[in-house]
Amino acid sequence: MTRLLIALLSAALLLTACSVTDFDSLSTASIVRPKFQDNDPVDFGARHPHRHDIHGIDVSKWNGDIDWRAARGSGVSFAFIKATEGKDRIDSGFERNWRQAAAADVPHAPYHFYYFCSTADDQADWFIRNVPKASVRLPPVLDVEWNHASPTCKLRPDSTTVRAAMQRFMDRIEAHYGKRPIIYTTVDFHRDNLVGHFDDYHFWIRSTAAHPEDIYASRRWAFWQYTATGVVPGVPGNTDINVFAGTEKNWRTWLASVGG
């Protein structure tokens, strides 16, 4: 019966986006409560992210040499790790980070920063070439946002072109890794391209000034990046902190459904 329940949950969760109430519950062990701080905290009112049970980080080479065991001990329950960008860039900290996260038993996923001056196939080829399946414990992430600071690519395709490119990239990645990708995005990019689309994908959204329900039109989300100025034991300097939408029991169920 337990195997049947997990199988049914897996099928349902892979076909639907999620919110706080979308996950069934199973009995689980306790998760360490976060011991984080914030150098520039925001008052989110009654819907503060600290009310969520499951917190995690997203990191790249810019975070330096992370003590993953210390991070896990401080309450880091998951990590999104930058892997690639465009069709020819790999994050120099990727291999170190995913191997050490795995050794510390931190569920983790690689993410790709999409570059609108390269094709979806070129970028999917690059990601597949550089991201081993062993590093994909959680579903891989497609990071789509307008990069205002890019010195080489100012291109902003129309929304139809954007969505077609995203779909092509995600189809390629899902076919190779066997996990449906998560979409990371920002307020302006979501407003310009994604409202009313990709409802059968999990979303990881950035919202550092207000609760997501206030600024993302009708978007159900799985992960919320709520600060870029977090202080996490084991992580040098400021870091991004995220929460999972559901409870601790929901988290365990979701991990089982995605093979994490």
Q: Which residues are identified as catalytic?
A: 58, 145
Phi, psi of 100 (to 5 degrees): -75, -35
Rg of the chain over Cα atoms, rounded to whole angstroms, equals: 17
The candidate with the shortest Cα–Cα distance to 211, out of 44, 50, 67, is 44
Structure-block tokens of residue 33: 């409560």
Given a contact cutoff of 8 angstroms between Cβ atoms, the answer to whether 136 and 180 are in contact is no
Provide the residue count of the chain: 260
Measuring CA to CA, how many Å separate 42 from each of 82, 207, 228, 229?
25, 11, 11, 10
The candidate with the shortest Cα–Cα distance to 244, out of 45, 70, 27, 49, is 49
Residues 6+ apart with CB under 8 A from 185: 143, 144, 145, 194, 203, 204, 205, 206
